[in-house]
Amino acid sequence: MMRLPEFTYHAPRTLAEAAARLAAAPGDTLLLAGGTDLLPNMKRRQQVPKAIVGLRHVAELQQIRGTGALQIGAGVTLTRVVRDPAVRAHYPGLWQAAAQIATPHLRNMGTIGGNLCLDTRCTYYDQGHEWRKAIDFCLKKDGQVCWVAPSSPRCLAVSSTDTAPALLALGAKVRLVSTAGERVIDVADLYRNDGIAYLTRRPDEILTDVLLPDAAGWRSTYWKLRRRGSFDFPVLSVAAAVRLDAGGRVAEARLVLGAVASQPLTAARAAGALQGRPLDDDAIAEAADLAAALAKPMDNTDFTLVWRKRASREFVAYALRELRGDDMRNVRLQVARQSLDHVA
């Protein structure tokens, strides 16, 4: 059986207490929410913290609040996000993203904050200690070389969070709290295109809330590519949100690609190309080409990189066609292996 290494466990009751615990030894202490990311990493000795701060007793992190704009505590489970009527009604892109994460069990455990902070993934890195020894380790942990591209100065591990692209497209922010105070930043600014330092969160900070703006007038969607109907992390995802004017033209658009870099990629030019145009086939094709050009998948996930690159164009088009109002149920059924309606 895989076994955890030993650690000291703390169970603070308040945010202030948690922040103080973290500040005491920020390098050696890690936060534990749902455990679905940290504990496998610890069993594989990718992360070996001296201490763990469990957040499940911190009540401030467990709430969903607000009408119009929505505030979701970082400790809210993905299942609660999926079951929340306001999320489903007003933020379909987030709902679709959360509903497609991992499995029902893992959504019962994993939290939205945990999914935003999900460690970047790579088939050279997400391996047991002995396996990594066989490749003399890698840049991300204990080694010198990024085996994905040995000349790369930085780690190319892949951002594999489903909720981040969706939240980026929805214009969401996150709150970060430490003993030094708090700050609110755009979700986009939470990430860096570096497989190791992929978060701008400081080691002493706790991600406490997701802040969603009022979605009135916005349509949003999320499309995920993975091999199977469940379990798998995205190897490509597309989050899109548009606001149409009275004439059916795009007043505002946001397009985000997930799982093709070490951070979610905002496809600003592609979104810009939609500006002022109806979502007709030409506009969708142009945006899909522009967005797909951004995708630089590497050979460190499931599926071949060339094919993932090819699929990215189609997935952008699926997303925009759904936002236009096309009946995409059959395509969704084929891609996701289910209509998402049964997820709850």
Binding site residues, another protein, CB under 8 A: 1-9, 11, 32, 34-36, 39-40, 43-44, 52, 54, 56, 79, 102-106, 108-109, 123, 126-131, 133-136, 147, 150, 227-232, 302-304, 306-307, 310-311, 314, 334-335, 337-339, 341-344
Min. distance of Cβ 232 from another protein in angstroms? 7
Smaller CB separation from another protein, 202 or 227: 227
In the complex, minimum distance from the CB of residue 192 to another protein, in angstroms, rounded to a whole number: 26
Mark residue 68 as left, alpha or beta (left: phi above 0; alpha: psi -120 to 50; beta: remaining). Answer: left
Q: Which is nearer to another protein, 5 or 276 (CB)?
A: 5
Q: Based on CB atoms, which residue is closest to another protein, 8 or 275? A: 8
Compute the least distance from the CB of residue 10 to another protein, in Å.
10
Shortest reach from residue 134's CB to another protein, in Å: 4
Whether the Cβ atoms of residue 34 and residue 114 lie closer than 8 Å to each other = yes
Please report, for residues 56, 202, 211, the alpha-carbon distance to residue 72 in angstroms, rounded to integers and kept in the order given. Answer: 15, 21, 7
State which residue, 68 or 150, has the beta carbon closest to another protein: 150
Q: Which is nearer to another protein, 55 or 215 (CB)?
A: 55
Specify whether the CB–CB gap between 156 and 146 falls below 8 A.
yes
Whole-number Cα distances in Å, 305 to 148, 195, 199, 235: 12, 17, 24, 9
Give the nearest distance from C-beta 180 to another protein in angstroms. Answer: 28
Pick the closest to residue 73 from 86, 60, 85, 83 (CA basis): 60
- Alpha helix (H) ranges present in 111-246? 112-116, 129-134, 163-169
Tokens of 170: 């929805």
